Structure formats: structure tokens, C-alpha cells
A and B are shown apart, each in its own frame.
Chain A
Amino acid sequence: MKTIANIFASSLGKKYIMAVTGFGLFLFVIGHLAGNLQVFLGPEAINRYGAFLQSNPELLWPARIGLLLMLGLHIWSAAKVSLENRAARPEGYAAYEPVGSTYASRTMLVSGSIIFVFVVYHLLHYTAQVQYLNLTGRDFRVFVDLKDRHDIFKTLVVGFSNGWVSGFYILGMALLCLHLSHGASSMFQSLGWRNDVYRPMMENLARVVALLIFLGYSSIPAAILFGYGREVLR
């Protein structure tokens, strides 16, 4: 018990929490992307995948609760660390140059906050399917395919045919890319799993993976804006 309390109280411990939850969320982001990309295999593949995920609430809900818990801890540690950091320098500099640091590393709090807003919108938009938030005037809940499954393909095509919604999704993914270009390597630093040999490789890999994640996710709204899947609207 004392060990757990120490982790939550100490500076390094909070960074372990941030790194471990960040790693969990990072894996989720990759898994979610792999699932979503099935939209390019056509309605049958993505609708089957959606029905499969929904078919097992005993697994779905623990996964959702786990993700929410990780998100909560990630945000809690970020808030705590940021407040402490602000308090550590009550008087700032007249001239200040952040030498040696990347833009991404200095803006983690901002990118993270916007990603959080995005996640809330995304959950209300496609998970809870709140009608007035999708800006298309259609109710996604009534979309059903020929096999009586929720028609995810149609939901995506209708949802992303709105330029504002697609634009916000792409913006959210751009910030996720920025966030991960730093976070995906720095989490290993926080956990002590990095040294001078692995560091350059990890830093480059994090940037490549972050960019691939951005391209992967953005390709869906972008493709739909360019007309992909338009036939289901007819």
C-alpha cells in the first residue's frame, strides 16, 4: 500500500503513471485504427466487425472501463505534473529560449487537452450517436444493413460527408500525431527503458509511427469527402 502511495506522490511515480497509461492508450489507438481501416474493405467487413464488437458486452464493457480508467489517470497525472511545474517557476524570464526542445515536447498539455475535447466529441458522435451533434440532421441509430446489423459503413459515410465534422476529425488526428511524436518515445524514457543506443532509434520511430497513425485515421474522412462510399447515400 505504501508503495502505491509513493508512486502517486512522487515526481517520478507520476511520470510512471503517465507513461504506463500512455502506453495502454497508444496500443488502443493502433488497434482502433486497424479495426477502422476495414472500412476500405467495404460495408460487409466493417459492419461484421462492428457487430462482433457489440456482440459481447461482458468483454466490451471491461475494455471500455479499462480505457476510461487509463484516460482518467493519464489526465490526472498530466494535470498534477503541470500544476507542480508551474509552481516550480513563480517568476519567469524576460528573455527565454527553449533550446534543444521540440515544439511537440513543449506543447503536450495543449495538444493533449484538444485531443481530450476531440475524444469527448467522438464518443458522443459515433458511440452515443447524439443526433444533433452530427450536423447532418440524420439519426445514425436507425441505419441498419440487409443482415439487420447496425450499418456502420453508412454511418461513417453520412457522418464524414459533413466537411466541418471531417475537418475536426483530421485536426484531432493531427494533434494526436504531434502528441505521439513526443509521447511514444518519451514514455520509454519515463519508465527508464531507454539509453543512448536506443534513443535516436526510438525518437525516429515515434515520429514515423505518429505520422502513420495520422495518415491512417485521416484517410477515412478524407476518402469519404472525396466520394468514397457515396453509393450508399442513394
Chain B
Amino acid sequence: MNLTLKVWRQKNPRAAGGFETYEAKGVTPEMSFLEMLDVVNEELIAGGRDPIAFDSDCREGICGMCSLVINGIPHGGQPGTTTCELHLRHFHDGQTITVEPWRAKAFPVVRDLITNRSAFDRIIQAGGFVSVNTGGTPDGNAIPVPKTTADRAMDAAACIGCGACVAVCKNASAMLFVAAKVSHLNLLPQGKAEKDRRALNMVKQMDHEGFGNCTVTGSCEAVCPKEISLSFIAKMNRDYGVATLKGQ
């Protein structure tokens, strides 16, 4: 099949960017979206031109490195799918596809389709951890965790931190990411000790990074490749509210 791509090209964070049109010829429906870009890039390199810069790593939907807003939807709009798992069979022969980077003040474009997502790392550093004193390995069964609690914590922990929630949100809000990370640890007994501090510090860092506010549109949950529920945002709101009212 043949596809026409309108791709955002931008030399560096300060340069003005713009769309360039490329033809992806002779690609197959079994290829992933990134493999198709690889094909286009090989042709560009062979022709002595700059390849399109984009992020990827595991290419199996677990690392959160791939991004891309494809025809207006982060990760291309297939439920529970990252761009690296998106196959060309979801497109039709001759289709024109617009490819853009995540757009948010907190995610500046580094080059072409690559954005700097280290704002997420700084939010994690602000509280997305459990403080432990190193020592002997603790007995795995010393702290009982009910199955339902463990499952819910796991639902939140499934977040791979790709930033699609920010990219799709009309407010460029990072609430779904932060909510997933706050909830994951706040639900578990190991994380409970630092529950209040975690909620306060991570939200504070999130605000500091310049993300927008949640207006509960639900777009984030719709595009999340790990299908994180909007209800985790409600949980974060609750945890943050309780911590605030305690006057911490």
C-alpha cells in the first residue's frame, strides 16, 4: 500500500517548524507505524536527506517512549494501543496521514517529532517513590495486601508515562499521569506512610512544570494506551484534598 505523510519537521527547539510531505511507497498492512517511518527514513538517508527524528525504544508497548499525534489523536486512536503497536492495516491505501509531536508547553519539541518529557521525571522525583532504609530483604508476605487493592494499584501502575494524556487534553493537563503515579503508591500499604506528602509534592511539581488543569473531559482516558481510568484523578483529588485539609 502507499501512504502520503504530512510530517512536522523542526531542526531544534528554537527553530520554526513546518509540515513536509512524504510518500511511503510499497509498505504493507502488517507493518507497524514506526516500521513504516523507518522505511521512509531509509529512503531519505539514501537520498542524502535528513531522516525524520522520532522516539521509540521497546516497540512492544511497554516502555512509553514512542509518541506521535496521528491524524489528530495521540497513538493513532486504536484502543489500548501505543504508536509502536499500531499497524498499517488500520489505514487505507492512498490515505493522507498528518503526524505531529505532542503539543504542550511542558513538553518542548527537541527535534521533529521528539519532545522533551523530563517534566514527568521531575514529577516522579517529587514523590513517586517509597522511602526505605536498605537492609535485609523483607519477607514478601510480611505485609498482607488484599487482592482487590493489589489489582487496583496495578491498574494505576500500568501507566508507562508516554504523555499521551497531556497530548490529547485540550488543556494539556498531566492529571491522568500524576493521578496514576500517586494512586499506585498511595493504595499500597508500603506507600501509605508517605501518602499526604506524595500527593502534595507531586501536584506541586506538576503545577510548577506548567501543565494545564483538569476539566474532566475524559479525552485522556480515551487515548491512554494502558486504559488508565479517569477515576484515579478523583482519587488523587481526594488524597490531595485530605492532605491539604490536614494543613500539611
Contact = CB atoms under 8 A, between A and B. Distances in A.
A98 interface: yes
Contact of A189 (B77, B203, B216): B216
A85 B172 contact: yes
Interface string B214-248: 11111111110000011101111111110011010
Nearest to A185: B216
A91 B103 contact: yes
Given A11-B203, A93-B100, A193 B234 contact: yes
Interface residues of A, number: 45
Given A3-B245, A84-B213, A93-B72, A189 B234 contact: yes
B71 A106 contact: no
A105 B213 contact: no
B113 interface: no
Contacts, number: 147
Interface stretch (B49-57, B133-141, B204-212): B204-212
Interface string A85-109: 1011111111111111110011010
B234 A10 contact: no
Interface of A: 2-3, 6-7, 10-16, 81, 84-85, 87-102, 105-106, 108, 182, 186, 188-196, 199
The 8 closest A-B pairs by CB, nearest first: A100-B222, A192-B238, A88-B212, A101-B217, A85-B171, A192-B237, A95-B72, A97-B72
15 contacts: A7-B244, A10-B240, A12-B236, A13-B244, A16-B237, A89-B212, A93-B103, A95-B71, A99-B73, A102-B218, A105-B218, A106-B217, A188-B234, A192-B234, A196-B229
